[in-house]
């Protein structure tokens, strides 16, 4: 005979075991990496715009591949092998990469001035990070919202050094997310 | 009651049910990860995993992660079906209990 109280206690135990998953979330090192890459990449359009394109081509693709490798390695070290989640991450950032490449089209064809075209990158980045926050890692949501707010400011007010200001703010927000994540992992007894 | 009869005796143990739920969520987990997640001892978890494996609910494979031997566990198709049936029965039980309140 199944005892209802035992059943309830078992379900509570299982739901807490599933909910308190210390592995849910990102790798702190990747937040720090992208904090630096984005800050540098957003400062370039203000101070050395001719290097911004090549920087993002190298840092974007290189950083993406490194993130994929580090994420997979970290996941295996934590004892998790989840190919379907890996595919979801891969597809998300691959689509982001395609969207970023498409942002180059109006600039290459000369139909859009560089300053106006540059804002498109910020919009795509904001949407990409915001959706990553919704579907993959919650801390990225705030970075995405920050980028979207910065896009609004850049388009409407056109402040001086808007790109640099945005890059530094996004970098700080990613560092904050990385430190928070690392603290959560340490609290859970994980090796960060 | 039909829901009670549909409960899987093998999944009435909290560790075994918890392991199946975690494997359904994560695809493949190591022994160490399952142990940490279920807060179980090596002996207890090993015994419960063996029962699940003997009944064809889970599959294991051995691998090396950074030169350390690691055993990975995965939910089999039979295990997934059994878990679905068991959770549906649990849901029916909870619904009937709420209905009688």
Say if CB A14 and CB B90 are below 8 A apart: no
- Which tokens hold the place of A15? 């739901």
**pLDDT at residue B74 is higher than 90:** yes
**pLDDT at residue A73 is higher than 60:** yes
Average pLDDT over all residues of chain B:
89
Q: Find the helix or strand (DSSP H, E) in which B94 lies.
A: helix B77-100
| CATH code of domain B2-95 | 1.10.10.10
pLDDT (mean) for A25-29: 83
- Helix (H/G/I), strand (E/B), else coil: B24: helix
Question: Is the CB of residue B92 less than 8 Å away from at least one CB of chain A?
Answer: no
pLDDT (mean) for B53-82: 93
Nearest alpha carbon to residue A13 among B65, B77, B49, B16: B16
Q: Do A81 and B29 touch (CB under 8 A)?
A: yes
pLDDT (mean) for A35-49: 90
pLDDT in tens, B14-32: 899 999 999 998 889 999 9
Mutate to test the interface with B, among A3, A75, A79 (most CBs of B within 10 A): A79
**pLDDT at residue B101 is higher than 90:** no
Per-residue confidence at A192, pLDDT binned at 50, 70, 90? very low
**pLDDT at residue A190 is higher than 60:** no
**pLDDT at residue A157 is higher than 70:** yes
Q: For A81, which residue in chain B has the nearest alpha carbon?
A: B28
Residue spans per domain, chain B: 2-95
Q: Which residues contact B42 (CB under 8 A, 6 or more apart)?
A: B35
Cα of A118 vs its chain's centroid, Å: 19
Q: Which of B27, B39, B65 sits opposite A82 (nearest CB)?
A: B27
Nearest alpha carbon to residue B87 among A17, A1, A15: A15
Chain A residues with CB-CB distance to B under 8 A?
A: 2, 4, 7, 9-11, 13-14, 17-18, 21, 23, 76-85, 189
- Which tokens hold the place of A178? 């990385």
d(CA A41, CA A64): 14
pLDDT in tens, A103-156: 888 878 888 776 667 678 888 989 998 999 899 888 788 888 988 998 898 888
Question: Is the CB of residue B45 less than 8 Å away from at least one CB of chain A?
Answer: no
pLDDT attached to residue A140: 84
Distance from CA of A70 to the nearest CA of B (A): 14
d(CA A118, CA A158): 12
pLDDT attached to residue A1: 47
Q: Do A18 and B93 touch (CB under 8 A)?
A: no
- Any bridge partners for residue A81, and if so which? B28
**The total number of residues written for chain B in this structure:** 101
């Amino acid at each position: 005979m199944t005892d209802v109280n035992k059943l309830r206690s078992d379900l509570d135990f299982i739901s807490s075991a599933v909910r308190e998953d210390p592995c849910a979330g990102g790798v702190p090192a990747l937040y720090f990496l992208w904090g630096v890459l984005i800050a540098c990449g957003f400062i370039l359009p203000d101070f050395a715009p001719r290097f911004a394109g090549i920087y993002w081509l190298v840092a974007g693709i290189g950083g993406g591949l490194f993130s994929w490798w580090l994420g997979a390695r970290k996941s295996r070290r934590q004892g998790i092998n989840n190919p379907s989640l890996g595919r979801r991450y891969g597809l998300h950032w691959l689509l982001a990469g395609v969207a970023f490449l498409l942002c180059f089209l109006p600039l290459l064809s000369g139909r859009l001035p560089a300053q106006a075209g540059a804002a498109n990158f910020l919009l795509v980045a904001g949407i990409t990070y915001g959706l990553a926050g919704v579907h993959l890692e919650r801390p990225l949501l705030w970075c995405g919202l920050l980028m979207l707010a910065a896009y609004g400011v850049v388009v409407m007010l056109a402040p001086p050094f808007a790109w640099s200001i945005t890059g530094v703010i996004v970098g700080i927000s990613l560092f904050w997310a990385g430190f928070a994540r690392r603290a959560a992992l340490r609290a859970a007894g994980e090796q960060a | 009651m039909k829901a009670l009869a549909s409960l899987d005796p093998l999944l009435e143990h909290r560790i075994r049910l918890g392991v199946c739920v975690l494997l359904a969520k994560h695809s493949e987990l190591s022994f160490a990860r399952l142990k940490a997640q279920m807060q179980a001892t090596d002996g207890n978890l090993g015994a419960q995993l063996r029962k699940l494996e003997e009944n064809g609910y889970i599959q294991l494979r051995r691998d090396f992660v950074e030169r350390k031997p690691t055993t990975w566990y995965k939910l089999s198709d039979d295990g997934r079906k059994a878990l679905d049936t068991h959770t549906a029965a649990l849901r029916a039980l909870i619904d009937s209990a709420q209905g009688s309140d």
